[in-house]
């Protein structure tokens, strides 16, 4: 079982879009994939479920919010697999090739969980000397370490655009990290900040565990550039410099990038089927999504 977190401090850079599409693409190739929505905006969840269906059948008992609630309010958290759901529309497509796409849905009230987490940790600084530090930080990691999750080829976690406790539980649970980014000035600034926060968290966590075997070392797979604008065959000049930046600061990046496509991503995913699997979209952008999925899968299988 392999866990990949998709994160960036910066909002609106394509985290959710990539998570949904890479998951759907790999499932359509016959893989078993679990996606976890850790963002209170619940965009990933609403990529697969209509809000009315979510409200009726998931919101009150089958989301990550209730699971975190069980962690905070019970001596032992509920088994996480009880919260896994199988979105019907996308699975009707991927099951033709023996694939499966499962989801742990999110909830708009997940913000309250973050506040409660901060309270339990004695403030927003999350010091590793807090007695709750380890239990809370490793909660998702421990929960995913159950036999029920062994059957998945890949687990992907869609993080919110911040570095609060829910994101921190995802980082601690991860074998790999992927950072979507737009090739622009603010996104590059955000990356440096994210890198510092990641390294502080990993250092603090590894100080808190009792044995070297429990230490974490999530591997940065790299930046995936999204929303590339083309003028002819090349990205526009304003973006080219930023595309080179990862190499200059010695951060890995994916070879494949994703272009800006209003035709593919403009229509909302109300039908519960991610763009990569939809008929009649922008075929070049769909091909790019397929290539990103292949690149990611090859990196985590090496
Ligand atoms: N390649 C693309 N071309 C055009 N639009 C895109 C592309 N990728 C994503 N979008 C659109 O941009 C918006 C932001 O994308 P998305 O929700 O994936 O970003 P995010 O990083 O998850 O945002 P947040 O930080 O709010 O969670 C969405 O409306 C999405 O449909
Ligand atoms: Mg998102």
Identify the structural domains of the chain with CATH numbers, from first to last. Answer: 3-301 (3.40.50.300)
Whether 212 shows a pLDDT value over 80: the answer reads: yes
Look at residue 18 in the predicted model and tell me its pLDDT: 98
What's the rounded mean pLDDT across residues 202-211?
A: 94
pLDDT: which is higher, 85 or 1: 85
* Cβ burial 199-233 (10 Å sphere, 16+ → b, else e): eebbebbeebeeeeeeebebeebbbbbbbbeeeee
- The set of residues, in sequence order, having a beta carbon less than 8 Å from that of 205 and lying 6+ positions away, is 128, 134, 137, 138, 172, 215, 216
| Cβ atoms of 245 and 65 closer than 8 Å | no
Whether 124 shows a pLDDT value over 60: the answer reads: no
Please give the structure tokens belonging to residue 299.
């990196």
Whether 268 shows a pLDDT value over 80: the answer reads: no
Angle of CA points 297, 298, 302, to nearest 5°: 120
Q: If you measure from the C-alpha of residue 128 to the centroid of ligand 1, how many angstroms do you get, rounded to a whole number?
A: 34
Q: Which ligand has its closest atom nearest to the C-alpha of 9?
A: 1
Counting atoms of ligand 1 from 1, which one is nearest the CA of 228? Answer: 1
Q: Is the CB of 166 under 6 A from ligand 1?
A: no
Q: Is the CB of 47 under 6 A from ligand 1?
A: no
Q: If you measure from the C-alpha of residue 287 to the centroid of ligand 1, how many angstroms do you get, rounded to a whole number?
A: 18
- The set of residues, in sequence order, having a beta carbon less than 8 Å from that of 35 and lying 6+ positions away, is 19, 20, 23, 44, 101, 102, 103, 104, 155, 156, 157, 158
Instruction: Give percent of the chain with pLDDT exceeding 90.
Output: 80
Whether 71 shows a pLDDT value over 90: the answer reads: yes
Whether 244 shows a pLDDT value over 60: the answer reads: yes
Instruction: Give percent of the chain with pLDDT exceeding 70.
Output: 96
């Amino acid at each position: 079982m392999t866990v990949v977190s998709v994160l960036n401090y910066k909002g609106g850079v394509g985290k959710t879009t990539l998570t949904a599409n890479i998951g759907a693409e790999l499932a359509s190739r016959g893989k078993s994939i679990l996606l976890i929505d850790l963002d209170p905006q619940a965009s990933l969840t609403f990529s697969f479920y209509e809000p009315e269906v979510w409200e009726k059948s998931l919101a009150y008992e089958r989301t990550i919010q209730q699971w975190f609630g069980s962690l905070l309010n019970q001596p032992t958290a509920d088994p996480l697999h009880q919260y896994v759901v199988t979105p019907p529309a996308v699975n009707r497509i991927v099951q033709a090739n023996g694939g499966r796409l499962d989801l742990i849905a999110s909830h708009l009230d997940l913000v309250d969980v973050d506040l409660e987490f901060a309270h339990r940790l004695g403030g927003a600084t999350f010091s590793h000397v807090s007695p709750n530090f380890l239990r809370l930080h490793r909660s998702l990691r421990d929960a995913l370490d159950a036999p029920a999750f062994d059957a998945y080829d890949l687990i992907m976690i869609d993080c919110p655009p911040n570095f609060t406790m829910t994101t921190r539980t995802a980082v601690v649970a991860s074998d790999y990290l992927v950072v979507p980014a737009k090739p622009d000035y603010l996104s590059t600034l955000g990356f440096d900040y994210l890198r510092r926060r990641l390294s502080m968290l990993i250092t603090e966590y590894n100080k808190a565990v009792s044995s070297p075997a429990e230490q974490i070392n999530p591997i940065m797979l790299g930046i995936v550039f999204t929303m590339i604008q083309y003028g002819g065959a090349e990205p526009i000049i304003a973006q080219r410099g930023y595309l080179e930046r990862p190499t200059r600061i010695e951060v890995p990046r994916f070879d494949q990038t994703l272009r800006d496509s209003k035709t593919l991503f403009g229509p909302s995913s109300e039908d519960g089927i991610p763009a990569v699997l939809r008929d009649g979209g922008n075929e070049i952008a769909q091909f790019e999504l397929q290539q990103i999925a292949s690149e990611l899968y090859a990196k985590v299988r090496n």
